[in-house]
Amino acid sequence: MDTAGLEILGEEECLRLLADVPVGRIVYIDRALPAIQPVNFVVHGQSVVIRTAARSRLAIAATGTVVAFEVDEFNDNCVRHGWSVVAVGRAGQVTDDQELASVRQRGLRPWAPGTREYYLRVDIEIISGRRLRHADAPAGP
């Protein structure tokens, strides 16, 4: 437990939860200001991969920089419980042919229309998570 009474999640649990949700938020710097963008993604090894357009603000601003990536799940129906996972790492374009083929097989489909053939990989260097579980809440994710 941390000082706020939240359960601290281990790395393995954080990675499992990260892979279980379809949407996350990437945090990066765009024109000297913080930017947060919801994205669909896949977990590929120890990385998060996002498919975007090569000239998108995300691709231009995040490539080659340190970013944060966050996923969560909360439920406030009768019993408050939920969790949050934050991963931090360097973002870069997937350019290796073998890795690109492997990532494409994961079936990551962009939401937005248009060409989205830029795969942005966030190599996870730090991952942490917390879970809030009310005393009456059932155990589980």
| Measured torsion, CA atoms of residues 91, 127, 71, 81, in degrees rounded to the nearest 10 | -170
Is residue 113 a part of any domain in this protein?
yes
Which tokens belong to 5?
A: 């009474």
Is residue 42 a part of any domain in this protein?
yes
Could you tell me the residue range of the domain that residue 89 belongs to?
Answer: 7-133
CB contact at 8 A, 118 and 51? yes
Q: What's the pLDDT score for residue 38?
A: 95
CATH (domain of 38): 2.30.110.10
Q: What is the pLDDT of residues 70-128, one digit of tens each?
A: 999 987 765 678 999 999 999 999 999 999 999 999 888 887 788 899 999 999 999 99
Name the amino acid, one letter, at 59.
Answer: A
Higher pLDDT, 110 or 44: 44
Is residue 141 a part of any domain in this protein?
no
Is residue 139 a part of any domain in this protein?
no
- For the chain, what is the radius of gyration of the CA atoms? 16
Is residue 140 a part of any domain in this protein?
no
Is residue 64 a part of any domain in this protein?
yes
Is residue 119 a part of any domain in this protein?
yes
Is residue 138 a part of any domain in this protein?
no
Q: What's the pLDDT score for residue 140?
A: 55
Full-model pTM: 0.88
- As for how many domains the chain has, the answer is 1
12: closest CA among 90, 128, 125, 121?
128
